[in-house]
Amino acid sequence: MTHHEKNSEHSAETFRSQFPLFAQPENRNLVYLDNAATTQRPAMVIDAVADFYRHSNANTHRSSHRLARQATEMVEQTRQRAAAFLNARSSREIVFCRGATEALNLLAYSLCAGLEPGDEIVLSTIEHHANLVPWQMMAERYHLQLRYVPHTAGVPQFDRLDEMLGNRTRIVSLTGGSNALGLRPDLAAIAEKLRGRHLHWVVDGSQLAAHEVVDVQALGCDFFVCSAHKFYGPTGVGLLYGREALLQAMPPWQGGGEMIAEVGLLHSVYADLPHKFEAGTSPLAGLAGLGAAFDFLAQQDRGAMAAHEQALLQWLHRELSQLPHLRLLSQPQHNLGIVAFAPVDAAPADLALWLDGRDIAVRVGHHCAQPLIRASGEGATVRASVAGYTTWQDCEAFLEAVRDFQRVTEPVDSAAAAAAAAGDDWLADDLSALRLERLASQRNWQDRYRELMRWSKSITTKPGIRSAQNLVQGCESEAWLVHRQQEGRHYFAVDSDSRVVRGLAALLLSQIDGRTGSQIAAADFDRLFADLGLRQHLSQSRSNGFYALLRQALQFVESAQ
């Protein structure tokens, strides 16, 4: 790590020092690797938001007083900075939105309104839901056809894009970088394939803008969208770039104040660009923060930042690729800063919870890219994403925590598991070795987690109970529970892919399996959960999973009375 630091032109520590969140006592050991979801804010941005409210809070335009003039000037200066940030020809080509999602909805609504039934929209399988759902909605409304770039296991073959282009292709809307895999398509090659065709090319640059300098003129796209909170700006603010002639021809999406020039009872005249697309009161303090974010990035060596991020990314992929029982979905090549993987012998949510116990923030789930994750053969992945303030020490702490998790969650290899897999779904799980006092005596959350992982090995795999009617509603990870009564006592069988859920299920069954209805009714499970020190460490969804299992078990008992 020392070698890397000495040879890096970008100092992550210096960069990090400009972000007040990391200076707070509770965050000094935080390893923040959830930057693809949202970046942190530098002091410049935070101060600009507060300064607007302190000194110039007023609505813009249509007012002659001093505060309104200051607010209006701020908004239009921010628009000019945005045009420079994307290298647009004019600030008239910049529309402020609440984020990339709103911008894509605006484009889908306005562009599709002029299409004919049977016209085609080309998308890819790695798109964020925000670049899928709006087009799906408009395709259904106007009877349009959606076509997808050919893919292998969800990863598009963009070199075959021209196979999807035909006489009816009207819109091509593609990501500039996958939020789930980090994959950065060759936009120059795509531009070449689209050159000379009568269609509109939309680029979702939500992940791109934080890691690369964007030049929409060089790129050659017709529209470009991004969200400020992805590149150190405020939440609730985004940019839509569009060629001026195209924006001029598009109908507005929303109606209301600020987007009109004149209103009559039967007809209204819309405002000129870009205001005809900005209905209602804008997020003015957010726009002040956005202007500061542009200034902040302008002060940085963007090339050195990108080189630092890429060095981290290469190292993380290399180290994770050497770990057993782990499947890497992302690749370090053409990657904007994301490592995506799934543990083979545990649920991704279990690893995320383990990392949170080490104060390491990652993202787990389908990342609003369900078609891609499903096509990859996974239900969810762990995503770690880097930024300019990510240090080599951050990455080492992350890697060490993953290694520790693998040691704790070694695959179960027992005769009981083999028998269960052979089809004996009601094989009694042996819970005799579980001791509540041992779990309660663990000194910290990491040790308690290890004990829960040990308990989870008591719950064997039961393929026969994994059916829709046995699925427990309310668990973050899928869990199945069945029940039978014998000689006045209640017996349960449970299964889950999540080791944490299986550990919690073992805890529950240790208190109810083989008990009478009156014994179960007398148990104080809230007190048990609190006494074991689990409530403050498990996420709400995890603790809800425990109570979902409990509720289902109690319903079984009540129905059997």
Report the 3 state secondary structure along 115-164: CCCCCEEEECCCCCHHHCHHHHHHHHHHCCEEEECCEECCEECHHHHHHH
φ, ψ of residue 353 to 5 degrees: the values are -65, -40
Q: Which of 237-241, 319-323, 549-553 has the lowest mean pLDDT?
A: 549-553
| Comparison of pLDDT for 345 and 482, the residue scoring more | 482
Nearest-5° Cα angle at 295, 294 to 299: 115
Residue 445 CA, distance from chain mean position = 26
Non-local (6+) Cβ contacts of 371 within 8 A are: 125, 127, 132, 154
pLDDT at residue 424 tops 70: no
pLDDT at residue 417 tops 80: no
How confident is the model over 280-316, as pLDDT tens digits?
888 999 999 999 999 999 999 999 999 999 999 999 9
Pair 129, 372: CB distance under 8 Å: no
**Quick one: pLDDT band at residue 425, thresholds 50, 70, 90?**
low
| Comparison of pLDDT for 48 and 500, the residue scoring more | 48
Q: Quick one: tokens of 58?
A: 């007023």
Q: What is the CATH number of domain 2-32+301-408?
A: 3.90.1150.10
**Which pLDDT score is estimated for 541?**
56
SS3 state of residue 326: strand
Query: How does DSSP classify residue 212?
Result: S
> What is the H or E stretch that residue 383 is in?
strand 381-385
Helix axes 445-456, 392-408, angle to 10 degrees: 40
Nearest to 529 by CA among 540, 516, 519, 517: 540
**Quick one: pLDDT band at residue 415, thresholds 50, 70, 90?**
very low
**How far is it, in rounded angstroms, from Cα 92 to Cα 221?**
16
SS3 state of residue 32: strand
List C-alpha distances in Å: 205 to 54, 64, 233, 487.
33, 37, 15, 64
pLDDT at residue 15 tops 90: yes
**Which pLDDT score is estimated for 481?**
92
Pairing of the two strands 238-242 and 260-263:
unpaired
pLDDT at residue 448 tops 60: yes
The percent of residues in the chain predicted with pLDDT above 90, rounded, is 64
List C-alpha distances in Å: 466 to 184, 375, 480, 495, 554.
38, 22, 6, 8, 20
How confident is the model over 167-185, as pLDDT tens digits?
999 999 999 999 999 999 9
Helix axes 445-456, 348-357, angle to 10 degrees: 160
pLDDT at residue 447 tops 60: yes
Q: Quick one: tokens of 233?
A: 């700006």
Pair 158, 186: CB distance under 8 Å: yes
Helix axes 284-298, 43-55, angle to 10 degrees: 140
pLDDT at residue 443 tops 90: no
Pair 206, 226: CB distance under 8 Å: yes
Half-sphere exposure of 537 (CA within 13 A, CB side): 23
Q: Which of 72-76, 295-299, 553-557 has the lowest mean pLDDT?
A: 553-557
Q: In CATH, what is the architecture of 424-560? A: Alpha-Beta Complex (3.90)
**Which pLDDT score is estimated for 196?**
93
Ramachandran class of 521: left when φ > 0, alpha when ψ lies in -120 to 50, beta otherwise: alpha
**Quick one: pLDDT band at residue 6, thresholds 50, 70, 90?**
very low
User: How does the average pLDDT of the chain come out, rounded?
Assistant: 89
**How far is it, in rounded angstroms, from Cα 181 to Cα 294?**
26
One-letter amino acid at 506 equals: A
Q: Which of 75-89, 193-207, 449-463 has the lowest mean pLDDT?
A: 449-463
φ, ψ of residue 347 to 5 degrees: the values are -75, 140
**Quick one: pLDDT band at residue 412, thresholds 50, 70, 90?**
low
**Which pLDDT score is estimated for 333?**
95
Catalytic residue positions, numbered:
368
Helices (H), 259-347: 284-298, 302-321
φ, ψ of residue 554 to 5 degrees: the values are -65, -35
**Quick one: pLDDT band at residue 215, thresholds 50, 70, 90?**
very high
Domain 45-298 has CATH 3.40.640.10: yes
Burial 329-355 (b: 16+ CB within 10 A, else e): bbebeebbbbbbbbbeebbbbbbbbbb
pLDDT at residue 422 tops 80: no
Every domain of the chain and the residues it spans: 2-32+301-408, 45-298, 424-560
Nearest to 292 by CA among 51, 68, 96, 54: 51
**Quick one: pLDDT band at residue 256, thresholds 50, 70, 90?**
confident
pLDDT at residue 1 tops 50: no
**Which pLDDT score is estimated for 438?**
78
